[in-house]
Amino acid sequence: MAVFGLMPLRFLGPNVYPKAPDGGWGWVVAVAFFVVEVFTYGTIKSFGIFLQDLMGEFGETNSRVSWIISISIFVMTFNGPLSSVMTTRFGFQIVVMLGGFLMSAGTIATSFTTSVNQMYITYGLVSGFGYCLTFLPTVTILSQYFKDRRSLVIALASTGESLSMFALAPAFSALKNQMGWRHTMVVIGALQSTIIICGATLRPIIIDPDATRKKENCKSSPQDINCKAFRVKNKTSYSQENELTGDSGIQSLKDTDTGGLQERTLLEKSIDNQCAANSDEAKNKDLKEQTLRDKKPKLLDFSILKENSFILYSLFGLFATLGFFAPHLYIIELSASWGVERERATLMLSIMAVSEVLGRFAIGWILSRPCLMEKKILVLLGCIVIMAADLVGFALVREFYGLAVCCSLYGFFMGTVACTHIPMLAEDDVVGIERMSAAAGVYVFIHSFAGLAGPPLGGVLVDVTGNYGSAFYSCAAGMAVSAVFLALVRPAKKGLICKRRNSKCPESSAKYTKEPSTNNMSQENVALDHTHNEDAAQNDQTV
């Protein structure tokens, strides 16, 4: 009951495991994350089917309408720390269910708007905040349920984003042609409400290495059983002796063998001392566990910014985000500028989508290989380097098939990076699973500025140079800088960048914090041995 006292209202109680189960209820969480991917990023990427209708009905420009999605994505990423705070305070279930409600309400309210400015509020702010409260908590708790197969499961579950573009985008487009964009928005909002059900299935997980032993200790320990058995047996023998002699207890003791009495007395004292020691140890252990349970986690852990590995990884995410926007925004115009027909140029997006699905499946299988379990950062670094080279290739090729190859490579490695860069925070090379919840919010918050500034930066370069290839060059430069920061993450975590005795070095601090604990344990053992020797000497004198 003490564990439940720490947690707010739950629709399903927490699961307690001695280690990450790599399955079990985690598969239900994986399905929930798949649905969240479908109705968050999948819906955002499918919003383009409404652009022409909104421009025509409200008489707005393309850039004005495009700000709806930009605001939504910025709100989603900018409020990452707030999502972490709410998850720590209220739990995964309540936060995700609230996010599903806001997402659904914002989308349905968008169908009743009469201007683009109103859509900035309904879809940009309300739905965007709902996206934030659903995506980050779900991917965080999914990472906690899996360890050895974490990369594979997250990669499979994240395919909901890509599959949504294949299945839902054409379906919504056909529905829009039949019912209009307003009624289609209502249908999308109603479907997004299923995330509320998914949120209720996110059972919290408690990793307790002593969970199995604690269940066994719920019963009486063998020492306690021996103590009770000895006292009962000794009392029964003593009573029977009194009945046989027909005298009182004092008279019987005088008539019995003095040696047997002393042996029994010493044995009883020894058992009592052992029982008292076991009782004190159990009380100390229970007090320690109660202290750990009563220690509430911080709502927002700013100490994560003191870790050099996290800072470098956040800078990697910041500059890498600059390389994510150009291909999807400018590939059609770039292809058309090189003489490719627009009908064929639109196929570039489909090539990217198919390749992205394949990349997600591939990276999940690759990172689950035993030989690469400890080298995930290096695998991600290789993907980033190839993406930087591929972005340069976009600006160099001049014909359809060359651009198609670049799109397939970009989509494949985009899929590998998209489904791993946030879960990679759970790896020991970055921050570890224990601090992932706080780290994910801060990480997404940091790279949200690049997501907001990236498209305008590319647009300025295109307007100045008159060449769409300049946007791809800027993305390639950002991706190359991100690769440098990513390459420094592992050395920073090992303490090779900062000084060994610096408190910011994890290994050094761990080393110097463990030594006093070891000395204390040694002193306690010496004290216990000294006490035991005094008891033995006292018993010898009594004999």
pLDDT digits (tens, 9 = 90+) for 488-539: 998 988 877 765 434 444 444 444 344 444 444 444 444 445 555 555 454 4
Closest C-alpha to 434, from 22, 147, 203: 147
Residue 193, pLDDT above cutoff 90? yes
Distance CA 147, CA 539 (A): 54
Question: Under a CB-based contact definition with an 8 Å cutoff, are residues 524 and 251 in contact?
Answer: no
DSSP 206: E
Question: Under a CB-based contact definition with an 8 Å cutoff, are residues 183 and 53 in contact?
Answer: no
Distance CA 36, CA 135 (A): 7
Residue 386, pLDDT above cutoff 90? yes
Residue 457 CB neighbour total at 10 angstroms: 17
DSSP 296: P
Sign of CA dihedral 136, 106, 86, 26: negative
Distance CA 386, CA 21 (A): 34
Find all residues with CB under 8 Å of 58, minimum gap 6, and list them.
65, 115, 116
- Mean pLDDT calculated for residue range 280-308: 58
Distance CA 164, CA 360 (A): 14
Question: Under a CB-based contact definition with an 8 Å cutoff, are residues 477 and 392 in contact?
Answer: no
Phi, psi of 207 (to 5 degrees): -95, 110
Q: 18 or 424, which is more confident?
A: 424
With residue 15 as reference, give the H or E element that holds it.
strand 15-17
Distance CA 75, CA 490 (A): 31
Tokens of 89: 């305070």
Q: pTM for the complete prediction? A: 0.63
- Mean pLDDT calculated for residue range 274-290: 53
Residue 290, pLDDT above cutoff 60? no
Cross-strand pairs, 17: 207
Q: What is the pLDDT at residue 508?
A: 40
Q: Exposed e or buried b for every residue in 36-66, given b needs 16+ CB within 10 A?
A: bbbbbbbbbbbbebbeebbbeebebeeeebb
